[in-house]
Structures are given as C-alpha cells and as structure tokens.
Amino acid sequence: MRQTHKQGEWMDFEQLRQLETIAREGTLSAAARTLHLSQPALSRSLQRLETELGQSLFDRPGRRLVLNEAGRVALEHAGRLLREEQALRAAVDDVARRTRALRVGTVAPAPLWRLTALIVERFPGLVLTSQSLSREEVEEGVVSGELDLGISLRPHPLPTVRSAWLMVENLAVALPAEHALAGRSEVSATELDGETFLLLADIGFWRERCDRYLPHSQFVVQEDRGVFEQFARSSSLPHFITDAPALSAPGPDRVVVPILDAMAHATFYLLLRPGARSEAADVFEWVRSHAA
C-alpha cells in the first residue's frame, strides 16, 4: 500500500532521476526547468524522498543545493539503481523486438485502454508492451524509434511525425453525499484544494496535475487497484472519477461533481514516426479512421 509521505511512501525511479538532476543543476529552479516540472512540485518530491530516507540530502547555502554526505551516498546508489533500470528496460525491449510486440509509451492509462479496445478485434494476434512516461519522453521515444507508437497530450511538434486524435478524458470528483460540495453542479480545483483524497498510484501525468493544482491537499495513494476500489466504496475520502469506460462507475452513497478547470480535461493523440514498422503504421491508420 502506497500512502502520502506523512504516512510512509516508497521512493520511485522518478525521484531518483530528480535527485540526479538537482545534484547536477545545483538549484531547484534549474532542475525544475530541466525536468519540465513546476518548482513547488519538485520541492515536494524532494521532501518526500528525504522524509522516506530519514535524512536531509542537501546543504542549502542560499538558494543553492549542495549534496551533503548522506546525499552523496544516496546519489551513488541512485545511479546504480537507474543503471539497473535501464538494463531492465533494454532487456524487455529486446524481448519485445524478438516477439514482434509493439512498444507503446503513454502519458496515462485510459488512452492505452482505448487503443487496446480499438485494435483487439482488428489485430487479434498483436502484442503490445507499454510504459508510462512523461509527455517529453513519449515524444522523444517516438522520434528515436525506442517506441513504435506514442500516446501524448498534443500532436507531435515535428511535422514529420504523424498524429491522430485518440480520445478525450474528463475528471470529476466523487464526494460523500454529506460533503459540503456534494450539492454543486460543478466545482473548481481551488475549492477542492486542501481536501484529503484517495488516489490510485498508476495514473500517469494526472498525478503531477494533482500536485500542481492541489498544493495544499494530501493524497492517500494506493498501488493496488482492488484495494483502491475497496477503499473508494468503504471510506469517506473523496476520490477522482474519470469518464473513461473502465473506471466510470462511482461507489455507493457518492455524488459525482464535474471539475470545471482545464486541469481536469485532457485530449490524447496517437503518434507515429516516419519509417515505423508496418504493424505500427497499420494500427495508426486503423485508429485514425475509427477513433472518432
């Protein structure tokens, strides 16, 4: 079970990559620009890592961050773990190539489910392997050929990369019937900020949006979908609900209130590079003609 840093949270590879970047750049602002994160979100992530390790990792002379002894040890081990992760990905990629599976990078789970639903009947023998990545990683992976297909939040900025509309996903909040906001026809992120939410771990870019637009909220994060669904039915904590078909049903005694801010709405696009494998091109053409 994964919970907020106040209740114990396991570190992840993204935090280790952030640690490397902060150490290299020397300030949170420079590291945030490199990582394409907001500075408050990066600061909260570093605080969670330091809390989990039980040690401050940096001395803070002025605005600079300088690794202390604990930080240097953490950075050494982080580098080793990240190299192991890279080796693991390379090994999995090799299996994918040998089995002719299509490698798909996605910024969120719902559009991957949509892609799978679109192709399952048309290409019954096709195997997909997927990774949850940032938008920048998806776009770079498509161009480099590390990914056969990408699912991103925008058409690719390079005109040589083909982009096709895939789906729109909208978030609402599922509130207990007695909640003060339960009678509203819609609600803003500002009004929700400060609530404690039940949150599923594997939600891709939506987690960064939660951290950015709900900076005063706490998140009780669950790794296991079954546990999350059980808590959603039995606890009094608000949680987010999507109009994606696989997760569209609210729990009992819940009122679903749409979130009006742009942060709760996302449009997804399927990306294909020039010279891609024929299987990927066939899938792209099928999605382009059937996704609407």
Q: What is the pLDDT of residue 253?
A: 79
Q: What is the pLDDT of residue 100?
A: 67
- Supply the pTM of this predicted model: 0.66
- pLDDT at residue 12 is higher than 50: yes
Q: What is the pLDDT of residue 249?
A: 58
- pLDDT at residue 248 is higher than 60: no
For the CA atoms of 55, 61, 64, 67, what is the dihedral angle to 10 degrees?
-40
Tokens of 240: 């987010």
pLDDT digits (tens, 9 = 90+) for 165-219: 999 999 999 999 999 999 999 999 999 999 999 998 888 999 999 999 999 999 9
Q: What is the pLDDT of residue 251?
A: 64
Q: What is the pLDDT of residue 245?
A: 64
Q: What residue ranges do the domains of the chain occupy? A: 100-160+269-290
The CATH number of the domain covering residues in 100-160+269-290: 3.40.190.10
Closest CA to 143 of 155, 161, 129, 157: 161
pLDDT digits (tens, 9 = 90+) for 88-145: 888 877 766 666 689 999 999 999 999 999 988 788 878 889 999 999 999 999 999 9
- pLDDT at residue 70 is higher than 80: yes
Tally of helices (H runs) and strands (E runs) in the chain: 10, 11
CA distance linking residue 46 with residue 57, whole number of Å = 9
Per the model's pLDDT, the better-predicted residue between 104 and 228 turns out to be 104
Q: What is the pLDDT of residue 230?
A: 87
CA distance linking residue 31 with residue 21, whole number of Å = 6
